[in-house]
């Protein structure tokens, strides 16, 4: 794999471009591993690849959870900010 070409945009709103890119790449790796599994006939390698797929799924779950946390936090901050900007209330 080549070195990461993703630069943090520092202007993300309700999400994170870096985490989204990591999620995309991890998902692509699972598809790759699953494709290899379909062609493999060595039980030891199949078991190893199954373990890799399971590890990647855990990483994907963690990435999704963090993205959800960021989204919820941003919504809360937006709500607080809008309450200060509300001139009627």
Taking each helix axis from N to C end, the angle separating 43-85 and 17-39, rounded to the nearest 10 degrees, works out to: 160
Average pLDDT over residues 27-45: 92
- The pLDDT value given to residue 21: 94
Q: What is the pTM of this model?
A: 0.73
Residue 89 pLDDT more than 60?
Answer: no
Domain-by-domain residue ranges, the chain? 21-80
Residue 74 pLDDT more than 70?
Answer: yes
Report how far residue 82's alpha carbon sits from residue 86's, in angstroms, rounded to the nearest whole number: 6
CB 14, CB 71: distance < 8 Å: yes
Average pLDDT over residues 44-72: 94
């Amino acid at each position: 794999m080549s070195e990461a070409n993703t630069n943090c945009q520092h202007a993300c709103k309700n999400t994170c471009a870096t985490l989204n890119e990591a999620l995309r790449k991890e998902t692509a790796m699972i598809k790759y591993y699953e494709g290899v599994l379909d062609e493999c006939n060595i039980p030891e390698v199949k078991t190893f690849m199954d373990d890799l797929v399971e590890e990647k799924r855990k990483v994907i779950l963690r990435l999704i959870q963090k993205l959800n946390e960021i989204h919820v936090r941003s919504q809360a901050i937006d709500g607080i900010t809008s309450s200060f900007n509300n001139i009627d209330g």
